[in-house]
Amino acid sequence: MAPNDKIAVTLIPGDGIGPECIESARRIIDAAGAGIEWEVCEAGESVFKKGIPSGVPKETIDSIHRTRCVFKGPLGTPVGYGEKSANVTLRKLFETFANVRPVREMPGVPTPYSGRGIDLVVVRENVEDLYAGIEHMQTPGVAQCLKLISRKGSEKVIRLAFELARAEGRRSVACATKSNIMKLTEGTFKRTFERVAQEYPDIQAWHVIVDNCAHQLVKKPEQFDVIVTTNMNGDILSDLTSALIGGLGFAPSANLGNEVAIFEAVHGTAPKYAGKNVINPTAVIMSGILMLRYLGKFEAATLVENALLVTLEEGKYRTGDVVGYDSGLAATTTQYTDAIIANLGKVPQRTPVRQYKPLSIPRLPSDPVMVRPSSRRVVGVDIFIESPLLPAELGPSLEQLTEGTALKLKMVSNRGTQVYPDKGTIIDCVDHYRCRFIARDPAADLRDEDLYQLIERVATAHRWVHIEKLQEFDGEPGFTKAQGED
């Protein structure tokens, strides 16, 4: 695509402060002569009110299929009608697997970190993890949410983080996980990171445990360049990083996939400021800059970015979130926007400008099977049961039920800690037990019939709620032990 070609983009003004932010960004992008043709579409509260439960009507989906690029304001998730967030629907419908959230120190925006040169990007996995939203009440009083992490999903976002580091001339990528506790889910992300990192010897790759990452970000944020992480970790860390540089008014984001990209601020609809012409549109303007670079319009992106930085350097027009809404010094959203437009063509004097190259978005084979082990076998089963019994009553009952089957009871745990056989632990049990049965013959590859027979036996005396096969892949157990399990 030549830089001067017109490109169609789906424009969703959004809810609350969304239309004001989008109008500001759109005026600046148009004034920069970026050559964007906007297809204005609806999503969010107005759509929920029409009775469309996804919050995203067909016309909007059709437009996105045509343009493959969305520039949007925040969408509210109203309580009482509509079930899911329209934002999450959009991200998931188009498999935007990476959420890129850059933050940098902004001139004229004083923070406790001013002068330290914060300039980092959080790359958050955007589809998997606990945000797959697969939840069940396992008993009337015990809820479960499945944390799904795939090697394919991890590899896509990790490769993108390294590609981003290269495109932006960055030195290092840190991988933030909780793999010390969740050895299979967060561990898959970490191991994939270590494997992929070998293909990028020019980039320093390091791992940091996510809680320490939060600590280090507050203590010494300038040590970070790119941070790649799982969905929930990234959600939390990226709000933290926004606060380091002046708040949500300055935090843009890009949701990137192989087919579609969605650009939006990190912030929401801030309803108390809606329609007042006071909010800070910078996060949406910066999301627009990310979009222009994604579309290959590097000149227009630099033009808008420079004008924004010059306006902040001049410090004459700053919004209420920076100078105080009641200070008498705050510019309106419109005044701030006009000042940026007037500064198009000027170059910032004090703020370092980064050189950007096109970002290559990794594409993996569409085969759903990514890992094919050379051997596998079923070595047991975890049966989750709802029971009012205490472990000392439940354990012997289960042992009796296994008689004559191919499996024997190994242990019973309650919320992850072994409670039978008794190890002397002090546990305040709930009515949700994981009962682990393993093959009597340690070399066996159990058949489904063996498991059915056991489940039928257990069901005669207890209410089972969930069953999980215990599998071994290439001789490695595909399951973790309970706390206290030998």
Residues lying near ligand NAP in the complex (CB under 6 A) are found at: 17, 74-77, 87, 248-249, 264, 267-270, 279-280, 283, 321
CB of 29 to ligand NAP, least distance (A): 17
Single out the catalytic residue among 72, 131, 294, 321: 131
Q: Is 152 a residue of the active site?
A: no
Strand, coil or helix: what is 247?
Answer: coil
What is the nearest approach in angstroms of ligand NAP to the Cβ of residue 70?
Answer: 12
b/e 340-374 (16+ beta carbons within 10 angstroms → b): bbebbeeebeebeeeebeebebbeeeeeeeeeeee
Of these residues, 5, 30, 62, 211, which one is catalytic? 211
How many angstroms separate the CA atoms of 132 and 229, rounded? Answer: 16
| Active-site residue, selected from the candidate residues 15, 235, 321, 450 | 235
Catalytic residue among 147, 178, 190, 297: 178
- The residue whose two tokens read 């596998």 is 376
Q: Which is nearer to ligand NAP, 280 or 414 (CB)?
A: 280
Smallest distance from the beta carbon of 52 to ligand NAP, in angstroms?
A: 17
CB atoms within 10 A of CB 145: 13
In terms of CB distance, is 118 or 279 closer to ligand NAP?
A: 279
- E-strand ranges in 387-426 read 407-414, 417-420
What amino acid occupies position 264?
A: E
Task: Please confirm, yes or no, whether 346 is among the known catalytic residues.
Answer: no
Q: Which is nearer to ligand NAP, 246 or 395 (CB)?
A: 246
CB of 76 to ligand NAP, least distance (A): 4
**Lookup result for tokens 């629907």:** 89
Cα distances (Å, whole numbers) of residue 406 to 436, 454, 459, 467, 472: 13, 8, 17, 17, 17
Residue sitting closest to ligand NAP (CB): 268
User: CB of 48 within 8 A of CB of 55?
Assistant: yes
User: Min. distance of Cβ 156 from ligand NAP in angstroms?
Assistant: 21
User: Sheet harboring 98-104: ordered strands across?
Assistant: 36-40, 7-12, 69-72, 261-265, 252-256, 98-104, 119-125, 226-229, 172-177, 204-209
User: Distance (Å, rounded) from C-alpha 130 to C-alpha 409?
Assistant: 30
Q: Between 283 and 300, whose beta carbon lies closer to ligand NAP? A: 283
Contacts of 372 (CB under 8 A, 6+ apart): none
- Any catalytic annotation for residue 239? no
Shortest separation between residue 262's beta carbon and ligand NAP, angstroms = 9
Return the number of the residue (213 or 251) whose C-beta is nearest ligand NAP: 251
CA distance 334 to 231: 35
User: CB 283 → ligand NAP: shortest distance, Å?
Assistant: 6
Task: Give yes or no: 129 in active site.
Answer: no
Judged by CB, which is closer to ligand NAP: 329, or 370?
329
Q: What CA–CA distance (Å, rounded) separates 268 from 14?
A: 10
* DSSP β-ladder status, 407-414 and 417-420: antiparallel
Active-site positions read 131, 178, 211, 235
